[in-house]
Homo-oligomer: A and B are copies of this chain.
Amino acid sequence: MDKLDLRILDQLQRDTSLTNQALAEQVGLSPSACLKRVRRLRERGIVQREVAILAPDALGANLHMLVEVTMARDNKTLYGQFIKQVEAAPEVTQCYQVTGEVDFVLVVSVPNMESYDRFCDRVLDASDNVHKFRTLISRKRTKFETRLPLDI
């Protein structure tokens, strides 16, 4: 992965709505050469997917919860089970497996409190593996950047 690939990735992380022509011009390549690289980056899985980011409040109040989950036992199998449940739950938009007193941090995105309640009943309270969890209610998501730093 050379400088040109990094330039392409940097641009695609910011905006994929440009045409291949415009992208090629930006990074200093011919359209065909640029397209070849973009396709290769997709094939290699470096570009995982291309998605639209929607305004959270345009879709009915959107509520974000940060949930710190502590498991009952440190057991790989139980961890795997929990991760599967989390992956299957559409309310969980992010899951981080962390070190320390807490085992997981979830970002849960729901339209309202009732939805969050139902999620807790269905996923967290229903699991024997979950020892306890603490919810931090987000009043506002002031930054949401999908871009990863390529250069820090």
Contact = CB atoms under 8 A, between A and B. Distances in A.
Chain A residues touching B, range: 35 or more
A97 interface: yes
Nearest to A46: B58
A56 interface: yes
A98 B93 CA distance: 17
A47 interface: yes
Contact of A148 (B44, B47, B62, B102): B62
A91 B149 contact: yes
Contacts of A97: 138-142
Contacts of A90: 149, 152
B51 A141 contact: no
Interface string A97-127: 1111010010001110001000000000000
A88 to B, nearest CB: 10
Contacts of A48: 52-55
A15 interface: yes
A77 interface: no
B142 A50 contact: no
B47 A52 contact: yes
A50 B148 contact: no
Given A54-B46, A55-B48, A58-B46, A93 B145 contact: yes
Nearest to A58: B46
A147 interface: yes
A3 interface: no
